[in-house]
Structure 1
Amino acid sequence: MKTDTSDAKTAAKEPFLSTMRELATTYQAFCAYDEAHIRETGLTPPQFDVICTLGNTPGMFMNQLAEKTLVTKGTLTGIIDRLEQKNLVRREVPPENRRCFLIVLTSEGEALFEKIFPVHIAYLKQKFDRLTPDELAEIKTALQRLKSIFTD
């Protein structure tokens, strides 16, 4: 099959490519900064995400937890298993619906959340404080607009 090099050259000149690259490298930089601090807690980033999502709640069903975290449903069961082994969460079967599990922080999990969540937010705040409230609002609006393009 013969490829048309002019098509490839034209595609490589698309104006959105530099924006796409900037978005990807920004995400990578954020993840490197964020994950280094999270690992100091003894948790993986997905475990941290689950603990922080469950914090200040009475618990969540697995499907709710999957929707609210950055964790896929297929991965979530293993994460919950490992957090259960660390005695940070427990599965409860609600009497009104015995076909599903409610995931709840244990007292140890709640204590960990109370300890690590504010510290991590303060850690991130050091960087985000470099932006003005208007800049934060502009970035949020632009990201929401970009997301809507892909979810329409």
Structure 2
Amino acid sequence: MSQPAEFLPTLQDLVKCYQAFEAYSAANIRALGLTPPQFDIVATLGNTTGMTASVLGEKTLITKGTLTGVVDRLVARGWVERAAHDSDRRCQIVRLTPEGEALFAKIFPAHMAHMAACFAGVGAADHARWQTALQQMEQLFRQENP
């Protein structure tokens, strides 16, 4: 097992990287008129026919308690709706409205362009190296918490 002196700097760098990513991403999302959780839901629902709240929670970074309130606010803005599930009356499908689809078509490409600007000049070899390292680290955490 690694000593704290060996893995602690890795954890610190991971946290600093995530915080820098979050700050860079969130500033652009707010400039587009959304909060990061609202963007997460709209982006996740984009190009889908909708999904249950449970699936939406699994696919986003939003906790179940927060998810309901964010969806409620998106419903109030006319971008998301809840519909009856075809086969399970206990569930509802959360999906984008036509206005929500138009919002997604506007903000998602704009945010991807913002994120792409951060990676300008980075080569395929660097991306491959980073992806491998991140996937290996993810597996370490999954092994410890199946």
TM range, normalised to the smaller chain? over 0.9
Look up the equivalent residue of 1:60 and give its one-letter code: M
Stretches of structure 2 that go unaligned for 5 or more consecutive residues are none
Of residues 50, 64, 71, the one that matches 2:62 is: 71
Following TM superposition, where does structure 1 have runs of at least 4 consecutive aligned residues deviating by more than 3 angstroms? none
Name the aligned partner's letter for residue 97 of structure 2. Answer: T
Larger deviation, residues 51-60 vs 17-26 = 17-26
Identity of aligned residues (%): 49
Q: Given the alignment, which residue of 35, 39, 53 partners 1:48? A: 39
Aligned to 1:100: 91
Q: Distance in 2 between matches of 1:96 and 1:68?
A: 22
Which of 126, 136, 144 lines up with 2:117 in the alignment? 126
Deviations 1:23-69 (A, max 9, x none): 11111111111000000121110000000000000001111101111
The match for 2:6 is 15
What's the TM-score once normalised by structure 2's chain length?
Answer: 0.92
Query: Which structure 1 residue ranges, 5 or more long, are not aligned?
Result: 1-10
Q: 2:80 aligns with which of 80, 89, 97?
A: 89
Partners of 1:141 and 1:24 lie apart in 2 by 18
| Whole-Å separation in 1 of the counterparts to 2:137 and 2:105 | 34
Larger deviation: 49-58 or 19-28?
19-28
Greater Rg, structure 1 or structure 2? 1
TM-score using structure 1 length:
0.89
What's the C-alpha RMSD, in Å, of the aligned pairs? 1.5
In 1: Cα distance, 2:123 partner to 2:65 partner: 38
Number of corresponding residues:
142
